[in-house]
Amino acid sequence: MEESAILEIEKQKIIKAYREKRLTIRTAAEALGIDYWQMQELMEESGVPVADLTDAEIRGRKDKFRKICHVWK
């Protein structure tokens, strides 16, 4: 098997592990030898959501952000 094919298989295994929440994005990046931002790009290109939040979690974060912004005014 060609080295590039082996690397592609390994990359897909790591992406799968991230999807299954067995790896964080940082540990997945580390395993592939790339940085955090490159890993985010790879996930986007692969159609894998980087933030898997529920609607309630998103609303909670928005509310928290609004409160912080209000304090700064």
Q: Which residue bears the tokens 């939040």?
A: 53
pLDDT recorded at residue 73: 56
pLDDT recorded at residue 72: 64
Q: Read off the DSSP letter of residue 20.
A: T
25-68 pLDDT, tens digit per residue, is 999 999 999 998 999 899 989 998 887 667 888 888 888 888 88
Helix axes 36-45, 3-19, angle to 10 degrees: 90
Domain positions in the chain are 3-72
10-31 pLDDT, tens digit per residue, is 999 999 999 898 999 999 999 9
Structure tokens at 31: 């395993």
Structure tokens at 19: 């999807």
- Whole-structure pTM value: 0.64
Instruction: Answer whether 29's CB lies under 8 Å from 35's CB.
Output: yes
